[in-house]
Amino acid sequence: MHIRLGKLYLKNPVLVASGTFGYAQEFAPYLNLKSLGGIITKTITLSPRKGNPPPRIVETSSGMLNSIGLQNDGLENFVKNRLPYLQKLKVPIIVSIGGDFDEEYVILAKRLDKVKKISAIELNISCPNIKNKKMMVAQDKEATFELVNKVRSVTDKTIITKLSPNVTDITEIAKAAEDAGSDAVSLINTLYGMAIDIKAKAPLLANTYGGLSGPAIKPIAVYMVWRVFQTIKIPIIGMGGIMDPEDAIEFFIAGASAICVGTGNLVDPSLAEKIVKGIRQYLKNNKIRNLKHLRGSLRHARSF
């Protein structure tokens, strides 16, 4: 079950996705945190952010729209009030960072590089609901290369670059991240979406649009993982609509080395631990000795 992402060793391939698991302490009553392969924190920025105005979450058919807008208390508050608890956990901690400018990512990475207990840094370059940004970094291969390259120059920690599905060709962005020194990529972040109140003829989200997650996006996510697996050599973390062990296994067969449970955490707070057990049982039932033998094992299309 163990895998490596750059220098990062994980005892199993199940992570919890940024923005869906808080700072871990919130979920401690519902599952054994030590059972997880790793924890990815809510994205932090250099300065505190209020995020977007409410309403910020809307349930949709087989999914959820969110427009949180990276609400967080900033780096200093994270280091002072959140990090002490995280450092006590015997689980790899991956800190997700975001910002409006490359320099913000660099400052954040520099500061976090000094914290020994932080195992890796996730570059959230693909949040779709920040109003003051005309385009995400993850929508441009040159911008992606430049940002990842700058962060690579200031930290030796494992770098995971989180990619957006809201692009023409995600493989170009993944290759740019790899070439710039990213140790792994994670995909996919949410897709653009919106919902409308037909009586008021108004958007249900105050921000008008947001990011769609949940089971509705899983087929897109699996496809994109499969595409990227054929393009790059670094590990892929797959995510998007994983609600049970069978969903996770699809991602491994498509080419993922690890997976993230996201929206599913909000439906069942103990889901990630159940998925760890389910993957282990699948490997045992199918006499697969090592998870790497499952990765990228997709066969030719069936004949009907």
Say which residue the tokens 């490596």 belong to: 4
Backbone phi and psi for residue 76, each to the nearest 5 degrees, phi listed first: -60, -45
- Of the candidates 3, 36, 70, 127, the residue annotated as catalytic is 127
Phi-psi region of 255 (alpha: psi -120 to 50; beta: other; left: phi over 0): left
What does the chain come to in residues?
304
State the DSSP code for 79. I
260 is catalytic: no
Using an 8 Å Cβ cutoff, are 146 and 102 in contact?
A: yes
Angle 141-152/102-113 helices, nearest 10 degrees? 30
Query: Any alpha helices (H) in 46-121, and if so which ranges?
Result: 74-77, 83-88, 102-113
Long-range contacts for 98-107 (Cβ within 8 Å, ≥24 apart)?
Answer: 98/43, 98/44, 98/45, 98/70, 98/124, 98/125, 98/127, 99/45, 99/46, 100/130, 100/132, 100/133, 102/146, 102/147, 102/150, 104/45, 104/46, 105/147, 105/150, 105/151, 106/150, 106/151, 106/154, 107/46
Q: Which residues are tagged catalytic?
A: 127
